[in-house]
Amino acid sequence: MDNSERFLNLYRDLEEVLGVKYQMRSGAVQHFGANEGSRWREELNLFREMRNLLSHHGRIDGQPPVLPADPTVKMLEEILEYAKHPPAALTIATRTDDLYCARGGELITDLLAVMEKRGFSHIPVVNEKRHLTGVFSVGSLFAFTRAQPDVPAAGLRIQDMAMILPPEKHIMEKFYFVDRDASCFTIRKLFQKKEAGSRRVAAVFVTASGKEKSPLMGMITPWDILRITE
């Protein structure tokens, strides 16, 4: 079997895998290249042209009109493997052991200093069982000061803001929960969701059961999903 046959077999397998995934009879590879597989958009466009040439033109003196190079075949193998087994949530996430998580007694001023120094936009708040009880951000601090303008920031602790920190209490942001095996495709779609009131999806949390009331295993930001899909 030469590289032209290998290439055609791989491309057919890719069409089949993506056709099932997207429930599409045709155009699944192009759809993949425009979305989850956008990092390979140009290559997939080229591969489609090569597939058409190899499929619709006969051999010349027993040789295919083009012969895909070894790196081309290898890349198509990698794309097929990615489509079959996309990265799962826990392989994308920053795991809880590596996350900076806040507790109820921490000073807000200390958290702000950490956020400025380390470039964090959101800090998960957890209890002793590692259940997520809230998410602290600069936006949540603004919301608190608007609601209670007479309360000084100095000496303010996370527990003092407990009523506005749960994920569902955030007015301008949305948070989702998935289990450890959720695919990067599923998570990307969550970040692309449009919520009522123009709420943007700020983070996706990975928990043991995929539900909020379950131990936190990790956190995924838009940057994390871009890093492995772009």
Q: What is the CATH number of the domain that holds 221?
A: 3.10.580.10
Same-domain check for residues 178 and 73: no
Among 158, 156, 148, residue whose Cα is nearest residue 124: 158
Contact 66, 52 (CB under 8 A): no
User: What is the number of structural domains in the chain?
Assistant: 2
Over residues 125-141, the mean pLDDT reads: 93
- What pLDDT was estimated at residue 4? 92
Over residues 210-230, the mean pLDDT reads: 89
Same-domain check for residues 128 and 40: no
What is the separation of C-alpha 107 from the centre of its chain, rounded to a whole number of angstroms? Answer: 31
Same-domain check for residues 77 and 113: no
Over residues 94-119, the mean pLDDT reads: 94
Among 208, 227, 202, residue whose Cα is nearest residue 124: 202
In the chain, the percentage of residues whose pLDDT exceeds 90 is: 65
The structure's pTM equals 0.80
d(C-alpha 115, C-alpha 87), whole Å: 28
- Place 112 in a pLDDT band, splitting at 50, 70 and 90: very high
In the chain, the percentage of residues whose pLDDT exceeds 70 is: 96
Over residues 93-110, the mean pLDDT reads: 94
- What pLDDT was estimated at residue 168? 92
Same-domain check for residues 130 and 225: yes
- What pLDDT was estimated at residue 196? 54
- Domain extent, residue 99, equals 90-229
Over residues 136-147, the mean pLDDT reads: 90
- What pLDDT was estimated at residue 228? 77
Same-domain check for residues 197 and 128: yes
Same-domain check for residues 48 and 142: no
Domain boundary (64, 85, 106) is at 85
- Place 164 in a pLDDT band, splitting at 50, 70 and 90: very high
Domain boundary (85, 100, 132) is at 85
Which residues, in sequence order, are CB contacts of 134 under 8 Å at separation 6+? 124, 125, 158, 161, 162, 165, 166, 167, 169
- Place 195 in a pLDDT band, splitting at 50, 70 and 90: low
- What pLDDT was estimated at residue 69? 95
Same-domain check for residues 70 and 141: no
